[in-house]
Amino acid sequence: MTVPRRKFVRVSGRVLWLTRDPAALARQLAGEDLDRIPDADDLIDNISTDELTPGWVCYYYDQTLARYCLVGLRGGLIGAGAVRRGGFGAIASGRSKGCGSSRETAPYAEREAGVQLVVARSIEKIYGQNCHNIGLVTTTDFGILERARRGAEIPIAELTRGLDRISADVVEYGGLFAYNRARLAGEVAPPPIETAPRAMTLAEKIAARHVIVDAKADRVGVAAVGPGDSAFVRTDLRFSHEYVTAMAEALFTEALGPAARVSEPESVFCFRDHLTFLDQVMSEEHVRLGLREQAAKLEAVQREFARSQGIKLFGEVERDGRPAGSEAICHNKVIEELALPGQVVVGTDSHTCMAGAIGCLAFGVGSTDMANAWLTRDVRLAVPESVRVLLKGRLGADVAAKDVMLYLLALPYWKSGQGIGKVIEFSGPAVAALSLDERATLTNMAVEAGGFTGIVEADEVVAGYLAAERGLDPAAVRARIVKADPGARYAHEVEIDLGALEPMVATPGDPRNGIPLSLLEQSRGGEVRIDIAYGGSCTGGKKADMDMYATVLGRAVRQSRTVAPGVELYIQFGSQQIRRYAESKGYIELFRRAGAKLVEPSCGACIKAGPGSSTRPDQVTVSAINRNFPGRSGPGQIYLASPLVVAASAIAGKIAAPNSVP
């Protein structure tokens, strides 16, 4: 049966302008259409997926999501069911729509609420791909909106302009599953890669080696790829966590039937790491709404899916007969145990890019992409442009990789959205001096720049780590290392002298709000007192981070100083392996003597699902996590900083430099 292509889209319904003016937004929700169409600069920028569907909304993975579309938008003006009741067929906003987490619940909620068209000045890569996968069309052309308001037919060609050929086909077929049905029926095929041999960036070289030439014959690899080439690439490692597995499993079963089997389950992994401590922090209101039971379904569905498909599940662990959190946060475990240099790694989490620290091409995908990948072992890839960040010099004693990223994210190139969808390739003489953990901070936070991924060329540091941690033959690891070609072309290049950097902090609302810590009090009109200091998450819970917390807290304890009155300091381990490391170094006793509260491995407060989350809007947190979008870690104000600054601030009672604890 031929799968039909869409030739045009007709939007039925009103346009919801997500304007910075709360009164104008409220009038639209009340049924009034705006007399004056807002200028693009009047629209809200950086609307994250946390605002589209807050963490608790993601416990649902069906049409219920329609009720909660945009309930997390800053200002709290959009209540449950408001978008659906308003009859909105299109939503318009500013820069970087859909930044943050890779959750496919965000566009799914919009679609189920009646939205057919998303318009924004720029659209983040994973969110945009998730929209296309479920049949929601997107554009950055605001000129289309007036015709859409009149109910005119919008040619599909106008809505696929600028997309790679596969993405355009997915949009025309109305979604990824429909496209793949046509693909399997021979009605459509990815365009052949015709790029001539050329000097390639690190990401391009790995991608070229994984391009599927003939799926039936299992022929993989082409001589070269270039930016804009589109293909399906063979994955080496696929993983998901309980926040997303249930939705992907539902899509997998719906499309392929209850007897469908995951291909090569030995390269597929599941993680119970996001909601491990949810019961400890769930509000009474959410309990009354039945969210405790709804969240428990996610874990149960994943556990049964893993069992039935023969998939390795990294679950919860016990210590001394009691629950002791998760075995690991997925990203930490992928580096510790699973990924290898030169591989393609995909996961249902935007911070999958953290694995780029060991020289693999690692990126986040949505539920629909993963459901397809479970069957086909491949994902679609539009080869992105790469940006080279050249690091030179050495970090000062009070400066860490987190400061490098907060400095980088605040540069105009990324703050303006020019880096959206691009690979950030970290290179230069200073990289060799960075530990693997510090490199992982760089690649982890590449997605905060809107990047496709971050990547660092593997070297002796990686070979030594994999030999020590996994018992691998260093020579075998070296044989896997992929290097960028001399003369490779980059879309943009940045040079950073690490020795010139000072401690940084990102002010609340966006990781791109970075300023030097020395200017913080001037910019905020005085010292910034804190209620919570949080050291943890995949970004801030690594071995090197433990070393940094211990450095500052050790100095404090030797001076008989502890956590300041009225401040709670949380230190959370990224994995049980990292916890054992901290124990072997004597850090656990040190942390306790300093007054820290220790938290077992889990994503926890980073997603408002564990100890360390704020509970009131007036609370101030300084945190080592990777993003501080509104509502991300609770209703309070979240400042991002390095582990050194987090520990020093806990002792000082205010956001303070590491040298404040001499």
* Rg from Cα positions in the chain: 24
Q: 176 and 42, same structural domain?
A: yes
Angle at 176 between CA 247 and CA 202, to 5 degrees: 95
Reading the block at residue 375, the tokens are 């069957």
The answer to whether 547 touches 628, Cβ cutoff 8 Å, is no
Give dist(CA 472, CA 463) in Å, integer. Answer: 8
| Strand spans (E) along 383-470 | 386-392, 423-427, 453-456
Nearest to 54 by CA among 572, 640, 629: 629
Q: 75 and 152, same structural domain?
A: yes
Residue-by-residue DSSP string for 614-644: --STT-EEEE-SS---TBBTBSSEEEE--HH
Reading the block at residue 213, the tokens are 């030439």
The answer to whether 585 touches 546, Cβ cutoff 8 Å, is yes
Q: How many structural domains compose the chain? A: 3
Range of the domain at 272: 237-366
Question: What is the three-class DSSP state of 604?
Answer: helix
The answer to whether 426 touches 391, Cβ cutoff 8 Å, is yes
Q: Is residue 403 part of a domain?
A: no
Rounded to 5 degrees, φ, ψ at 475 are: -65, -40
- Tell me what percent of the chain is helix, strand and coil, each rounded to the nearest 5: 40, 20, 40
Residues of the chain with pLDDT under 50: none
Residue 335 is classified by DSSP as I
Nearest to 506 by CA among 610, 633, 593, 384: 633
End-to-end CA distance of the chain: 73
Q: 655 and 529, same structural domain?
A: yes
Q: 657 and 509, same structural domain?
A: yes
Specify the CATH number for the domain of residue 44.
3.20.19.10
Give dist(CA 609, CA 605) in Å, integer. Answer: 5
Pairing outcome for strands 532-535 and 568-572: parallel
Q: 141 and 252, same structural domain?
A: no
What's the pLDDT score for residue 37? 78
Q: How far is CA 254 from CA 250, 251, 353, in A?
A: 6, 5, 29
Q: pTM for the full model? A: 0.90
Q: 148 and 15, same structural domain?
A: yes
Pairing outcome for strands 268-271 and 361-364: unpaired
Q: 242 and 180, same structural domain?
A: no
Q: How far is CA 646 from CA 512, 586, 640, in A?
A: 18, 20, 9
Q: 581 and 649, same structural domain?
A: yes
Q: Is residue 268 part of a domain?
A: yes
Nearest to 465 by CA among 577, 602, 603: 577
Q: Is residue 445 part of a domain?
A: no
Q: Is residue 144 part of a domain?
A: yes
Residue where the block lists tokens 């979240």: 638
Question: What is the three-class DSSP state of 381?
Answer: strand
- Domain stops at, among 184, 201, 217: 184
The answer to whether 43 touches 19, Cβ cutoff 8 Å, is yes
Residue where the block lists tokens 């067929």: 89
Q: 166 and 31, same structural domain?
A: yes
Pairing outcome for strands 230-234 and 378-382: antiparallel
- Domain stops at, among 150, 184, 218: 184
Digit-coded pLDDT (tens) for 418-463: 999 999 999 999 999 999 999 999 999 999 998 999 999 999 999 9
Digit-coded pLDDT (tens) for 86-137: 999 999 999 999 998 888 999 999 999 999 999 999 999 889 999 999 999 9
Q: Is residue 594 part of a domain?
A: yes
Q: Residue 516's beta-bridge partner residues?
A: 504
Complete edge-to-edge strand list for the sheet that includes strand 117-120: 14-17, 88-93, 117-120, 137-139
- Domain stops at, among 314, 338, 366: 366
Specify the CATH number for the domain of residue 318.
3.30.499.10
Reading the block at residue 640, the tokens are 């991002």
The answer to whether 511 touches 407, Cβ cutoff 8 Å, is no
Q: Is residue 253 part of a domain?
A: yes
The answer to whether 475 touches 460, Cβ cutoff 8 Å, is no
Give dist(CA 478, CA 473) in Å, integer. Answer: 9
Q: 509 and 603, same structural domain?
A: yes
CA 325 centroid distance within chain: 22
Residue-by-residue DSSP string for 33-76: PPSSPPPGGGBPP--BHHHHS-GGGGG--SGGGGGGTTTTSTTS
Q: Is residue 605 part of a domain?
A: yes
Q: Is residue 198 part of a domain?
A: no
Q: 259 and 119, same structural domain?
A: no
Burial class (CB in 10 A: 0-12, 13-18, 19+), 149: middle
Residue-by-residue DSSP string for 89-109: EEEEE-SSBTBS---THHHHH
Give dist(CA 233, CA 235) in Å, integer. Answer: 6
Q: 513 and 644, same structural domain?
A: yes
